Structure 1
Amino acid sequence: MYTAAELSSPINPVSYTLWRDKYRFVDDQGVAEDSIDASWQRVARALARAESRERRRWAGRFHALLADFTFLPGGRILAGAGSGRRVTLFNCFVMGRLDDSIDGIFSALREGALTMHQGGGVGYDFSTLRPAGSRAEETGSIASGPLSFMQVWDSMCATLLSTGARRGAMMATLRCDHPDIEAFIDAKRDPARLRHFNLSVLVSDGFMRALRQDEAWPLLFPLQALSPGEADGAQVIERQLPGYDRPVPCKVWRWVSARALWQRMMRAAYDYAEPGVLFIDRINAENNLYWQERISATNPCGEIPLPPYGACNLGSLNLVRFIDSPFSRAARLDFDALAKSAALAVRMLDNVISVSRFPLPVQRQQARASRRIGLGLTGLADALIMLGLGYDSPQARDLAVQAMRTICLGAYRASVELAQARGSFPLFQREHYLNAPFITRLPADIRDGIAESGIRNSHLCAIAPAGTISLLANNISSGLEPVYAFTQQRRILQADGAYRAWELSDYALALWRQQYGDRPLSPAFVESAELAPQAHLQMQAALQPFVDSAISKTINVPQGYGYDVFEAIYREAYRLGLKGCTAFRPNAITGSILAAGEGEQLHCCNLEREAD
């Protein structure tokens, strides 16, 4: 039962429960915040501490942006800012390069455990671990391969969960030319295996060329990482690999058909939803710090490609709060207010970097060297409905592009202005930065500002799944996703570790019913199942030019969707210039994401795998 005060809260009972169990601060004496406004006040005051003056005024401005869910910072910020606890305010980290030794592997495991214990999800590239069956020089034993060590990480994550710690989220990547890539692709055929990991294959441009030309593809490993004599008589070719500054000689383990390997990857995604695909060369080519970093992993949901020990500092602007006169002919999105809110959100997220604790000193060093942030949007589908636009219409994509362009350019202008007062991020090198592909496409006034004053943050934009915080904000549609279902039953993990099923209505539907009662819905009310996969791809591709990091997007297709057209989604994603692709088809191993009476299953971007 809820008290009168609780029922008068600006959030619905489901969102209230989520706030109470995940984000409300309770001190050591059991005294709890009495409202979500108290949480907003706490967060606003904590972030204002990074200001050198007028802290009270900045706290007031930050509070106004948080109020009514206009700006939704990452869950670790909501839960931890101003708490005084030894927790990080960063949702996720990519961890350090895995050294191929027992000491190196278990040192990395310890770092991962410390990071997850303080609330951060983790991403790892396992491509540096020698393949199964190779010889370990120090002991003369046979290497068990990266998948065996991934199981150790999976057990660590499960153990932390059993102690009552916040649930973990992990990403594992492996290159498409690693000798164990086929086992990696097949890993999730066992529904009990690696359940705390999201898996993604690092697909190179070279592989995509070999696929198009139906060529053989080498599976290989660096010579210098192998035991003496292990490459005797083997074919050797050079390849740029993670952990090396330049191409290195590699032993070719064997050749496989690029087409057969791709089909194995696609069949796995079709049958059990993983692995996802990361177009890693495109990620690196489009990296604003291309001269400084070599990226080979992302955070658990894929929207922030990061260097070793990089951190993701996320926030989403709630587009439904910028709609005037919803459902009417006069409905409009207030772009001026959106731009101003983007500028203030950049300041808040930059302050997070200054006030946050970090599980490891090297994470602090990396975060403060680049001052990366990831500002994005959420509630897009609901905003489109409130404007009378069908998600798959050209008009909807045009509106979405205007919104993300407004956020992106507002963020960059704000970061240039911050640099004038606070200085540029330490890794900034003016000439290199201005030559980054994304930066060359910015308007002249922003480039001129960077040339003159520098810029505070190396990266500014990302579109996260935002599932948990969107549910908190009265169940608005999440990220750039279409509405999955306007009414649904959803299982939500409670503070006591048990699940509770809730009947949920989408925000736009609830608002329509509030205004119009049982009047028939407008044609703009379209669910995900009614959309062709191309509508998902086109929306993601339309927004990517205004996102300097990446976009977390799941393309949902019906269970009866044919394999050939499913596989074509991934080829089209590459053709459209996307940085990655994940499609989900309900299947016997993972079930469905959301369904009446079924609740949630484990999948990459649902509430159980998102690092909220």
Structure 2
Amino acid sequence: MLYKDSCNRKSNQQNLGTIKSSNLCTEIIEFTSPEETAVCNLASIALPRFVREKGVPIESHPSKLAGSNGSKNRYFDFDKLGEVTSTVTFNLNKIIDMNYYPVETARRSNMRHRPIGIGVQGLADTFMLLGMAFDSPEAQQLNRDIFETIYYHALKASAELAAKEGPYETYEGSPVSKGIIQPDMWNVVPSTRWNWPTLRETISKVGVRNSLLVAPMPTASTSQILGNNECFEPYTSNIYSRRVLRFVNTVLLLTF
């Protein structure tokens, strides 16, 4: 259930008018009108790929770990997550520019507001690889740190693009144009992991290239490609069935 007033108060698109609906899965909430059809440009990041073994060089590190044995010798690579988030931000902006639009109203909306939605998959797998219970204080803190990292680096990359190509067309009047970013809207003080004051100063000078940045989508299909659990959801069983068009696949958790 979503509350319309709360969604509008916390949206960076609130300067465009009243937002009346979300997309089907509610991960992104955008302004739409008879002249504009909202478009979401999405990509998900596979979080388990950022769990590293201590003392193992990156070049010889396995592409994917399994099981919680040895979890005390593992850590989460926030620097690499930030690097990948920046790359995803740049790539999604290229998609906006190069995409095919079936209707003019969709092209107009995407070009004017340039919304992107960066999400995740495999959060539950990440917790298990690190030996954390899903609802433990350690997992809750890691969850906050992960999404702070994603938002910071997406915002930073968007500002870098704005410095080269200019802010998105409807930037003026938006919360971010007034120095208000998402932590401010939620009364949250960011950690000191990243340099927020410098980023705020940069944005005040050059703006940002995208009206929206983070949108944790369900990844119901895409997470299956890499064998991750969906989005930020917990596992509900150690063994379960995945039904597709042609067969039913029984899955046993590898990371349990």
Q: What is the CA–CA distance in structure 2 between the aligned matches of 1:401 and 1:431, rounded to whole Å?
A: 25
Which amino acid in the other structure matches residue 253 of structure 2?
D
Q: What is the CA–CA distance in structure 1 between the aligned matches of 2:13 and 2:30, rounded to whole Å?
A: 10
Asked whether the 8 Å contact 1:382–1:508 carries over to 2, the reply is yes
Aligned pairs, number: 227
Higher relative contact order (CA 8 A, sep 6+): 2
Asked whether the 8 Å contact 2:10–2:182 carries over to 1, the reply is no
Cα gap change, 1:507 to 1:478, in 2 (>3 Å) = farther
TM (normalized to structure 1)? 0.36
Cα gap change, 1:457 to 1:431, in 2 (>3 Å) = closer
Asked whether the 8 Å contact 2:12–2:174 carries over to 1, the reply is no
Query: Which of these residues, 209, 218, 231, is aligned with residue 479 of structure 1?
Result: 231
Cα gap change, 1:352 to 1:384, in 2 (>3 Å) = same
Which amino acid in the other structure matches residue 136 of structure 2?
S
Cα gap change, 1:430 to 1:477, in 2 (>3 Å) = same
1:315 aligned partner: 43
Compare the two structures and name the one with the higher strand fraction: 1
Cα gap change, 1:366 to 1:507, in 2 (>3 Å) = farther
Correspondence 1:39-188 to 2 at 5 A: none
Asked whether the 8 Å contact 1:430–1:454 carries over to 2, the reply is no
- The answer as to 2:136 corresponding to 1:393 is yes
Query: Which of these residues, 376, 388, 393, is aligned with residue 119 of structure 2?
Result: 376
1:361 aligned partner: 104
1:505 aligned partner: 252
Cα RMSD after superposing both structures: 1.7
Asked whether the 8 Å contact 1:377–1:404 carries over to 2, the reply is no
Which amino acid in the other structure matches residue 500 of structure 1?
F
Correspondence 1:462-611 to 2 at 5 A: 462-474=215-227, 476-493=228-245, 499-509=246-256
Cα deviation, residue 436, structure 1: 6.9
Q: What whole-Å deviation, never above 9, does each CA across 1:229-256 have from its counterpart, x for those lacking one? A: xxxxxxxxxxxxxxxxxxxxxxxxxxxx
1:404 aligned partner: 147
Q: What is the CA–CA distance in structure 1 between the aligned matches of 2:2 and 2:200, rounded to whole Å?
A: 29
Cα deviation, residue 460, structure 1: 0.5
Q: What is the CA–CA distance in structure 1 between the aligned matches of 2:174 and 2:112, rounded to whole Å?
A: 17
Q: What is the CA–CA distance in structure 1 between the aligned matches of 2:175 and 2:181, rounded to whole Å?
A: 12
Q: What is the CA–CA distance in structure 2 between the aligned matches of 1:348 and 1:477, rounded to whole Å?
A: 24
Query: Secondary structure of 2:203's partner?
Result: helix
Q: What is the CA–CA distance in structure 2 between the aligned matches of 1:404 and 1:437, rounded to whole Å?
A: 18
Correspondence 1:180-199 to 2 at 5 A: none
Asked whether the 8 Å contact 1:289–1:436 carries over to 2, the reply is no
2:89 aligned partner: 346
Greater CA radius of gyration, 1 or 2? 1
| Identity percentage of aligned residues | 28
Asked whether the 8 Å contact 1:430–1:451 carries over to 2, the reply is no
Q: What whole-Å deviation, never above 9, does each CA across 1:103-139 have from its counterpart, x for those lacking one? A: xxxxxxxxxxxxxxxxxxxxxxxxxxxxxxxxxxxxx
2:59 aligned partner: none
Cα gap change, 1:294 to 1:479, in 2 (>3 Å) = same
Query: Secondary structure of 1:311's partner?
Result: coil
Q: What whole-Å deviation, never above 9, does each CA across 1:75-97 have from its counterpart, x for those lacking one? A: xxxxxxxxxxxxxxxxxxxxxxx
Q: What is the CA–CA distance in structure 1 between the aligned matches of 2:249 and 2:152, rounded to whole Å?
A: 39
Query: Secondary structure of 1:297's partner?
Result: coil
Cα deviation, residue 333, structure 1: 0.5
Correspondence 1:19-58 to 2 at 5 A: none
Which deviates more from structure 2 when the two are superposed, residues 314-323 or residues 444-453?
A: 444-453
Q: What is the CA–CA distance in structure 2 between the aligned matches of 1:507 and 1:501, rounded to whole Å?
A: 18
1:292 aligned partner: 16
Structure 1 unaligned spans of 5+: 1-276, 494-498, 510-612
Asked whether the 8 Å contact 1:288–1:436 carries over to 2, the reply is no
Q: What is the CA–CA distance in structure 1 between the aligned matches of 2:238 and 2:92, rounded to whole Å?
A: 32
Asked whether the 8 Å contact 2:120–2:232 carries over to 1, the reply is yes
Which amino acid in the other structure matches residue 349 of structure 1?
L
Cα deviation, residue 434, structure 1: 3.1
Cα gap change, 1:431 to 1:465, in 2 (>3 Å) = closer
Cα deviation, residue 444, structure 1: 2.2
Cα gap change, 1:392 to 1:432, in 2 (>3 Å) = closer
Structure 2 unaligned spans of 5+: 54-64, 185-189, 191-195
Q: What whole-Å deviation, never above 9, does each CA across 1:245-284 have from its counterpart, x for those lacking one? A: xxxxxxxxxxxxxxxxxxxxxxxxxxxxxxxx21110000
Cα gap change, 1:285 to 1:319, in 2 (>3 Å) = same
Asked whether the 8 Å contact 2:163–2:206 carries over to 1, the reply is yes
Which amino acid in the other structure matches residue 480 of structure 1?
F
Q: What whole-Å deviation, never above 9, does each CA across 1:143-179 have from its counterpart, x for those lacking one? A: xxxxxxxxxxxxxxxxxxxxxxxxxxxxxxxxxxxxx
- The answer as to 2:212 corresponding to 1:459 is yes
Q: What is the CA–CA distance in structure 1 between the aligned matches of 2:250 and 2:183, rounded to whole Å?
A: 48
Query: Secondary structure of 1:424's partner?
Result: coil
Q: What is the CA–CA distance in structure 1 between the aligned matches of 2:38 and 2:145, rounded to whole Å?
A: 30
Q: What is the CA–CA distance in structure 2 between the aligned matches of 1:377 and 1:323, rounded to whole Å?
A: 14
Correspondence 1:184-263 to 2 at 5 A: none
